[in-house]
Structure 1
Amino acid sequence: MEAGLGVLGPPESGKTTLLATLPIAAEQYAPGWMFFGANDEAQDFLQENLRRLRASRTLPAATVRLNPEMRFVLRGVRKARRRGPFARTRRVQTAVYLDVLDAPGGLYAWPGPSGRSDVGSGATPSSPASGGEESDRDRLTRHVADSSGLILLVDPVLVDSPNYDAYDYIKSIVLDIARRSALSSADEFLPHYLAVCMTKCDHTAVYEKAREFGLATDDNGPGAFPTVSDQRAREFFDELCGSSWEGAPRGRAIELRDAIRSHFSPRRTRYFLTSSLGFGQHPETGVFDPDDPANPTYETGANDGSERPWVSGLIRPVNVIEPVLWLAATQLRNGS
């Protein structure tokens, strides 16, 4: 089974980190599940970034250029039900090939006065070569439009920041892919399946809101990691977009919510509350501390005074493999 997967999000939304932690998430999901590279580009990407996360305890570097297409394999055992009068559930070995482009978020910056993207974070949309080759943005747009499933990362902490305009980002994507794939849909929406991932569920402010909402529960006992459900994740997304954050109205977040609803079918959209690193542990006791749930810690650099994140505890991704499994399952059901 083959499926194109688009991983989207504005700059600094955590796309590279999410991809890098998928092998860890697959191992922890269930025995026998694996996520690995099927070509050299994918394998090199995973090895380099897993080394940074596990050995150096640093986060993957932000993507600043459009890399070659990476092909990954998600393999494991799933339950399938045979059809007919003697239907029964059986275990089936499943392998899904996922084609992914790790693109800098700036490639989908909103077009400036010149009509081209005002790209930040070091990313530059390459112009077409004299031989008629695609620009980076055109190549990414073609990949996203041809993908059957999309993962959109939204940072709840930054979503309303002027420098993190997720609304302009998603509108720019919609306009580009609508030209290529809107007519292939059977209804009024784009044909894609969309997994909306609200990131940083280990961030103190996000975790507290999730607890208030009943989405993160401490029913595993004192010191155990919380359980984060996706049963009410859509309602939680509405809550995050509609409520104030630290006293400021969330106008940009509301625009983002409305854009998703306007262009993607609710039957083909699912919401997840995620964390690529997972929850942190107390440095002395090694158990989860609800008063300090974040995994990354920040240290001030000696040379430039900037804050740098470090992975402080074990990496236990939360709802990272689940969006990929859901998107893969839609392809298996549809026979793609």
Structure 2
Amino acid sequence: MAPEFFNPNEDKPGGGPSGTGTPAGGPAGPQPAEAAQPAEPEQPGTRWSPRVVPPQAPGRTDAGPAPAYPSQPTLPPPMPPVQDGNLEPLRIPTAPQEDGTAADRVRIGLWGAPRSGKTTYLAALPIAAMQYQRHGQGNWLISGMTAEANTFLSDSVSKLAIQREFPGSTVAVTGMSWSFQGQEPGTGMMRRRTREPSFVLEIQDAPGEAFRPSNPLQTQVVDQLARSQGLIYLFDPLGDAQELTQSLTFFYSTLNELNTRIRDAGGHYRGRLPHHVSVCVAKFDHPDVFRPAVEAGWVTQDTVGSQLPRIPEHLSERYFQWLCDEFRGSTARLVRDGLANFFHPDRITYYATSAIGFRLNPQHVFDYRNYANEEIVDGVRRICTSPEPINVLEPLTDLERKIRTVRDARKGWRR
């Protein structure tokens, strides 16, 4: 006969619970350890029943208090939060619509020796734009693309026109973006149709010392010039006579570095630098520049309005040649030769420029007896009358027109 196996679910004689074999009211002595009934599996969201007795450890008796068990099982430590697995991929940010498209943007580099008037030139731009419709056939609106650019424009007008003071020298490289909207008469076959150019100007104002070869900022400013499509070069015929501000000191080193950048990038155009250049002969209003030019016969005068003096447009290049040959000297001639050597002559235009213009009499008319618009008050340079900038806006808008013409021609050729 096969041995009878113990069935824990079967009641045994003795009236005790199943599997105990202990008579009711019998002695409570030590009993062999027996397996307890397994607990019902836990369902999600349910709690443990305190009536369910967990299994005893081997060799443990019923004597002594039962161990305390939590009413809720101990959960494993939480997993670290998912950082981006459940998020939609983030696309690169796009420029706001008001910032303009790449095709509308024109990069112009501003270049010149210390005290050549770069910051004053930029400060005079909004004044020149407001006066443009009075002196010519057209109109220009300038506004900043950022709050900082608008602040510069507002402060510039206040500084020059109200406080009659020159802006302080630039001490750090400052980049600005300005929006230009214009109305100009058409030319050629389109002369009866008004041209309405619109572009965003990206310009950088850097201290003149940044163009010195030993200056740590030179790499940054040369990189910006290399990315530019056009350059405004301010030539100061007065500062060029001083050794510390000689144009050649800051000119050739920058030009050589610029040529290296363009060469390495394969960006030469017909063997020379590709930039369009506006050469601005600064401080045309200063007596030490203006009087010799008058005596040499370079200056003409308007017959209407404020009767302002000018260098005729067709004589501007020869005027610059004269300044370098007869007025300034050998270092200026090397600047002239360097411009002609590195840039295409048909991409260089010359201007006689003044950021503050001439002093006008109470009737707002030029008077050769008293035309100097700068005076020294308590050791500070001040502007005598409201500025009348000369050839400040034109070098910039002419650059934009030439750059746009070349760009459109390339598009047509590719088609």
Q: Does the 8 Å contact 1:233/1:273 carry over to 2?
A: yes
Match of 1:23, as an amino acid? P
Q: Does residue 330 of structure 1 match 2:402?
A: yes
Change in Cα spacing, 1:88 to 1:265, as seen in structure 2 (3 Å) is closer
Match of 1:36, as an amino acid? S
1:297 counterpart residue number: 375
Question: Which moves more between the two structures, 219-228 or 158-167?
Answer: 219-228
Question: Which moves more between the two structures, 321-330 or 162-171?
Answer: 162-171
Q: Which has the higher contact order (CA 8 A, sep 6+)?
A: 1
Question: Which moves more between the two structures, 272-281 or 31-40?
Answer: 31-40
2:85 counterpart residue number: none
Give 1:89 deviation, angstroms: 4.2
Q: Determine the C-alpha separation between the residues in 2 that align with 1:138 and 1:157.
A: 27
Alignment length (residue pairs): 299
Q: Determine the C-alpha separation between the residues in 2 that align with 1:82 and 1:162.
A: 46
Match among 236, 250, 262 for residue 181 of structure 1 = 262
1:57 counterpart residue number: 164
Give 1:6 deviation, angstroms: 0.5
Q: Determine the C-alpha separation between the residues in 1 that align with 2:305 and 2:161.
A: 27
Match among 302, 320, 330 for residue 237 of structure 1 = 320
Q: Does the 8 Å contact 1:151/1:196 carry over to 2?
A: yes
1:130 counterpart residue number: none
Q: TM-score, normalised by structure 1?
A: 0.82
Deviations 1:227-256 (A, max 9, x none): 3422211111111111145xxxx1211121
Give 1:281 deviation, angstroms: 2.1
Give 1:36 deviation, angstroms: 2.1
Give 1:222 deviation, angstroms: 10
Change in Cα spacing, 1:222 to 1:98, as seen in structure 2 (3 Å) is closer
SS in 2 for 1:201: coil
1:304 counterpart residue number: none
Q: Does residue 288 of structure 1 match 2:366?
A: yes
Deviations 1:1-43 (A, max 9, x none): 2110001111101001111111111122225311221122211
1:3-22 equivalences in 2 (<5 Å): 3-22=106-125
Q: Determine the C-alpha separation between the residues in 1 that align with 2:327 and 2:340.
A: 20
Q: Does residue 274 of structure 1 match 2:353?
A: yes
Change in Cα spacing, 1:93 to 1:166, as seen in structure 2 (3 Å) is same
Q: Determine the C-alpha separation between the residues in 1 that align with 2:130 and 2:183.
A: 13
1:73 counterpart residue number: 179
Change in Cα spacing, 1:192 to 1:95, as seen in structure 2 (3 Å) is same
Give 1:71 deviation, angstroms: 0.3
Q: Determine the C-alpha separation between the residues in 2 that align with 1:186 and 1:178.
A: 11
1:40 counterpart residue number: 147
Give 1:206 deviation, angstroms: 1.6
Give 1:93 deviation, angstroms: 2.1
Match among 306, 331, 344 for residue 252 of structure 1 = 331
Q: Determine the C-alpha separation between the residues in 2 that align with 1:45 and 1:286.
A: 28
Change in Cα spacing, 1:4 to 1:222, as seen in structure 2 (3 Å) is closer
Give 1:88 deviation, angstroms: 7.1
1:113-262 equivalences in 2 (<5 Å): 116-117=214-215, 125=216, 136-182=217-263, 183-220=266-303, 224-244=307-327, 250-262=329-341
Q: Does the 8 Å contact 1:230/1:273 carry over to 2?
A: no
Give 1:147 deviation, angstroms: 0.3
1:106 counterpart residue number: 209
Match of 2:373, as an amino acid? N
Match of 1:281, as an amino acid? L
Q: Determine the C-alpha separation between the residues in 2 that align with 1:42 and 1:174.
A: 28
1:132 counterpart residue number: none
Deviations 1:77-129 (A, max 9, x none): 1344798xxx77422321111101110010011x3xxxx33xxxxxxx3xxxx
Larger Rg: 2
Q: Does the 8 Å contact 2:139/2:184 carry over to 1?
A: no
Q: Determine the C-alpha separation between the residues in 2 that align with 1:32 and 1:88.
A: 16
Match of 2:206, as an amino acid? A
Q: Does the 8 Å contact 1:220/1:227 carry over to 2?
A: no
Q: Determine the C-alpha separation between the residues in 2 that align with 1:209 and 1:233.
A: 15
Point out where structure 2 has 5 or more consecutive residues left out of the alignment. Answer: 1-103, 409-415
Q: Determine the C-alpha separation between the residues in 2 that align with 1:332 and 1:222.
A: 32
